Structure 1
Amino acid sequence: MRRKLSIGVYDVNKDEKLGMVVKGSSPLWIRILMGILRAWFFIYDCLNYIPYQLFNPPVEKLRKSSAVKAQWIGGRDGPIRHVDGLKTEEFPGKDTVDKVWRHVVELYDEAPALGTRQLLTVHEDATNVGRIFEKWEMGEYEWMSYREVEAKIANIAPSLKDLTEGIEAKLVIFAETRAHWLITALSCFRANIPIVTVYATLGENAIAHAINETESSIIVTSSELLEKIGTLGKRCPTLRTLIYFPLVNKNAAQPDLSPFRNQFKNILPFDDLEKRMQYTIKESTARPEDMALIMYTSGTTGPPKGVILLHKNIVAALCGQTNGVGIITNKDTYIGYLPLAHIFELDAELTALCCGCKVGYSSPLTLHDRASKIKAGTHGDCHALKPTLMAAVPTIMDRIFKAVSEEVAASPRIMQELFKLNYERKRARYQEGYCSPFLDRIVFKKIRSLLGGHLKGVLCGGAPLNAETQRFMNICMCCPVVQGYGLTETCGAACVADINDLSTGTVGPPVRCCEIVLREWSEGGYSPFNDPPQGELLITGENLSPGLL
């Protein structure tokens, strides 16, 4: 399935994003200076043409971009499959999430796995209208190794199993993204307790709906969110146990548990789960066909729907995404800040861990130096962590674009024009297959440093990313920004764009664990035999959910 590379000629006058960053016209002397610099760039390109062709030929980059990445099996009306074929297990024989995790621990042992940045001080800033905003001063990241995380799971899993009291229980996680969330999930996978995920931003009615529909008996939340579930125990008769994570701000007052005393049979701080352990689970009872997750998704109509995901779905998805992204190594650092209640973030973190990455936790409010909760003069999480990999959604990319725009707009006019000139130059060369190391080090270094300065890849999903935003981020962040397409029902990505693809607005080939078929829709004139091929998108594979609740 070869797609002709169609990048086209760059026209600065049609560059929507650049026009939003650098507005208006400049004085004559600045325009003359920019003309002189353009002439200098032309001479530089002439002098370096032969060295580039010999030592860093752009044709090689263009070849990788236009290479065959997927193929039809049996004609255009047949399935589309990744060019490397189908694969459903990254580690042969490891067919449940717990088996995958245990294998990963053996591979990476004492390497850092999960990191959390400590909150040192909370400052309260008052606005002119009397509103109070918290500003945080953060410390460095503190890490748990793969072996240390495994030790926690080994203690927590049997404690959770005991709390189910022999019933076929389910456990709801209602918490923000943090290491405790993932440790809880991995412990449940070992204990063969299905997890029900709900967003930390939801109200009590939505949480009660999920609990009652799934008949969950345990809820795990954070201390900060306890006030949002004040009457949940009364509204959900199957709930027996409340477990709460420790406060992020260790200097804050401990939560008041008195409203929950007569609502739950057991109320436990998360750290006490390790102390309750009476035995170890030497081998999980989970099978590939067992339920691992019920993930609530908003869908398109009606109330949130619970999507059932089995162990084999997650294992296949991890295999597909590990191969699909293709650049992750055990030297990388992934920054986790999107909601773990969404399949996109959960898959991303598990995929990173499968490759031996370390995962450092953050939030959209502390992500970079200009984030809303970061105290002026101190650094956001990206500066402290220096991630090489991150996942993003279009709204986050828009926030980053806004931060870049503010950075450029605050500079003198001549610096704005220099940014515009160098952006135009790098974009044109990028589309021709050339790299621009000089511009990366001199011009875009400060912008790239907004996200730590070490990114080598960004995967965007959750919604379509504007093609111009994608190109702008490619240029300014000096790393590929690629898109994927998937659903909760496909356990994350069904397609991921190739990291070498220079084009924008494409979600790439199917990942290796699934196939895609374009089914003809004659009423709308859609056919896989059209040019380009069109049709109703059908997905099949081991990553596919068995259905909804």
Structure 2
Amino acid sequence: MDFMIMALTFGWVKALKKLLTPEPQRSVPVGDDPSHRVAAGYKGNLLATPRDGVSTLYDLSKDSFQRYADRNCMGNREFLGQYKGNAKVKHFGPDIEWRTFEEVGRASDKFGAALRSAGLVPAPEKCTLDKIKTPCSLAIFENTCPEWMIAALGAFSQSIVVTTIYATLGIDAVVQAVNDGVISAIVCNKSNVKILTSRIKDMKTLKTIIYTSDLVAPGATIDLPKAPSGVKVVSMEDFIESGSTAAFPPCPPKATTCAVIMYTSGSTGKPKGVTITHAQIVAAIASGETALGIRDGGDVYLGYLPLAHILELMAEFSMIAMGCTICYADPKTLTATGAYPVGALEQFSPTIMAGVPKIWDVIKKGVQAKLALSSPVAQFLVNTAFEARAFAIE
């Protein structure tokens, strides 16, 4: 069968072409420093912004909230619990909960105002991690979900820095980040409130814990501990609502203001905080728009990689800039293997998604397992179509 597929799809032509064609040069140095590179063949100037008048993530998001007001910005599935007690399969409702760009904009503005009411202050221009002396940073210790982005957007509306911490890291990493950045507020999952409050004595600047209910089933019994003296524990919904009456209009950041302090995963030692400015992320978004070629897109992006990583953060802000819809999932529920009744890929039908080799391999194995149950004719047709498409792309 493999020989027939190769013959029908001109696989031998592809193999010969690959053998005879040298690997193309994909980037070239810029200036004297060989580490500074640009895409090969690009003749224009280095990009700084996706559109005129946009120099920060606040500028970018505000423009999109107005430009695409009635378009769906974020979509999420209702989590109903584990399917029939199977801890490896999550049960989701049939409907998608949508938020429009206008709704996300309103919620983020309220969240930002609530942060100011909670005692956070705008970050000074050109601040770095070692120079932070005031409560100007919000920590986010949560998996990728709509609330993560709304919290970040709200912080940016008040020139507040977002400190990202991988949700897979332990409490010690959180303690380190809170103490490094003089952090007074943190966003976390409801399931992590207990462990945070248990270490509150080690985080003397932490005064507000805001929890989400992402992947917490309705009626799930997660007992919230009594808040320690001087610390407020509040749900994301109540915190956003409190911003409705807060007298803090937006306080836009400057291009050189720090946008995020992104902690590394700690794979090579103690996690380290990396400072990234608004201008740097906006420039990366401009490059992404050019590379993807999307303008006022009707595309659907699947957000599932950690937002604590720059790839996912930049990708999602790129989607907001281009008016695309972001649908949220987690890596284990992309296919029906880990989700019921269907996986996120089938329910959301994304047209764009970012990924890493491990994720692509998981998806491939899922498809191969399902295909193995099909008839030989179906397997032949799918394999032939795949090879033909791959050949056309190359």
State the distance in 1 between where 2:284 and 2:265 align.
Answer: 21
Mapping of residues 175-254 of structure 1, within 5 Å: 175-246=142-213, 248-254=215-221
The two structures, once aligned, show a CA RMSD in angstroms of: 3.1
Partner residue in 1 for 2:115: 160
Letter in 2 for 1:397: W
Whole-Å Cα distance in 2 between the matches of residues 387 and 96 of structure 1? 27
Residue 172 of structure 1 and its aligned partner are, at CA, apart by 0.8
Instruction: Give the secondary structure class of the aligned counterpart of 1:271.
Output: helix
Q: Does 1:138 align with 2:138?
A: no
Q: 2:291 aligns with which of 302, 319, 324?
A: 324
Q: How does 1:396-435 map to 2 (within 5 A)?
A: 396-413=359-376, 415-416=378-379, 426=388, 431=391, 435=392
* Corresponding residue of 2:14: none
TM-score by length of 2: 0.82
SS at match of 2:84: strand
Q: Give the Å deviation of 1:279.
A: 3.9
* Paired position in structure 2 for 1:460: none
Gaps of 5+ in 2: 11-22, 122-133
CA deviation string 1:315-336 (max 9, x = no partner): 2121121112224642111111
Q: Which residue does 2:17 correspond to in 1? A: none
Deviations 1:280-326 (A, max 9, x none): 55442411121111101136633111000111112212112111222
Instruction: Give the structure 2 partner of residue 379 of structure 1.
Output: 342
Aligned to 2:104: 149
Q: Is 1:393 aligned to residue 385 of structure 2?
A: no
Look up the match of 1:272: 238
Q: Is the 8 A contact 1:153 1:183 kept in 2?
A: yes
Per the TM alignment, residue 185 of structure 1 is displaced from its structure 2 partner at its CA by 0.1
What CA deviation, in whole Å up to 9, does each residue of 1:466-503 have, x standing for no partner? xxxxxxxxxxxxxx6xxxxxxxxxxxxxxxxxxxxx3x
Q: Tell me the alpha carbon deviations over residues 62-99 of structure 1, each in whole angstroms, 9 at most, x when there is no partner.
A: xxxx9997666679979644323212011222212111
How far off its partner does 1:179 sit?
Answer: 0.5
User: Which amino acid in 2 is paired with 1:96?
Assistant: T
Distance 2:85 2:378 in 1: 32
- Identify the match of residue 50 of structure 2 among 81, 90, 104: 90
Q: Secondary structure at the match of 1:106?
A: helix
Alignment-derived partner of residue 261 in structure 1: 227
The 5 Å alignment of 1:294-309 reads 294-298=261-265, 301-309=268-276
Q: Deviations over 1:323-382 (max 9, x none)?
A: 122246421111111111111111111001100001111111221222x2x13xx21122
In 1: Cα distance, 2:306 partner to 2:242 partner: 29
Residue 88 of structure 1 aligns to which amino acid in structure 2?
A
Asked if the contact 2:171–2:196 (Cα under 8 Å) also holds between the matched residues in 1, the reply is yes
The residue identity in structure 1 corresponding to 2:273 is G
Letter in 2 for 1:118: E
1:103 aligns with 2:24: no
Question: Among residues 49, 52, 73, which one is paired with 1:113 in the alignment?
Answer: 73
Alpha-carbon shift at residue 143 of structure 1 (Å): 1.0
SS in 2 for 1:303: coil
- Contact 1:158-1:279 at 8 Å conserved across structures: yes
* 1:315 paired residue among 261, 278, 282: 282
Instruction: Decide which structure has the larger Cα Rg and report it.
Output: 1
The alignment-based identity, stated in percent, is 29
Structure 1 partner of 2:84: 124
Where does residue 16 of structure 1 map in the other structure? none
**Which position in structure 1 is the counterpart of 2:126?**
none
Paired AA for residue 84 in structure 1: G
Displacement of 1:416 after TM fit?
A: 4.4
One-letter code aligned to 2:156: F
Distance 1:133 1:311, change over 3 A: closer
Instruction: State the match for 1:445 in structure 2.
Output: none
Contact 1:124 1:133 in 2 (8 A): no
Most deviating of 348-357 and 327-336: 327-336
* Separation in 2, partners of 1:134, 1:379: 10
Give me the TM-score of the superposition, normalised by structure 1: 0.60
Distance 1:380 1:314 in 2: 31
Give the direction of change, closer, same or farther, for the CA distance of 1:339–1:142 in structure 2 (3 Å limit): same
Q: Is the 1:242–1:264 Cα contact (8 Å) retained in structure 2?
A: no
The amino acid across from 2:272 in the alignment is K
CA distance in 1, matches of 2:27, 2:89: 49
Structure 1 CA distance, aligned partners of 2:249 and 2:56?
A: 14
CA contact (8 A) 1:161 1:193 kept: no
Q: One-letter code of the match for 2:303?
A: G
CA contact (8 A) 2:294 2:322 kept: no
**Pairs aligned (count):** 366
CA deviation after TM superposition for structure 1 residue 109, in Å = 1.3
Q: Is the 8 A contact 1:170 1:196 kept in 2?
A: yes
Deviations 1:393-422 (A, max 9, x none): 111011011112212333345654555555
CA distance in structure 2 between the aligned counterparts of 1:335 and 1:142, rounded to whole angstroms = 14
Distance of 1:252 and 1:398 partners within structure 2: 35
User: In the alignment, which residue of structure 1 is the partner of 2:259?
Assistant: 292
Structure 1: 5+ residue runs without aligned partners? 1-21, 24-30, 43-65, 127-131, 436-479, 481-501, 503-549
Q: Distance in 2 between matches of 1:238 and 1:383?
A: 44
Residue 354 of structure 1 corresponds to which residue in structure 2?
A: 321
Report the Cα offset of residue 265 of structure 1.
2.1
Q: C-alpha separation between the residues in 2 aligned to 1:207 and 1:343?
A: 18
Q: Distance in 2 between matches of 1:242 and 1:180?
A: 14
Following TM superposition, by how much is the alpha carbon of 1:227 offset from its aligned partner in structure 2, in angstroms?
4.0
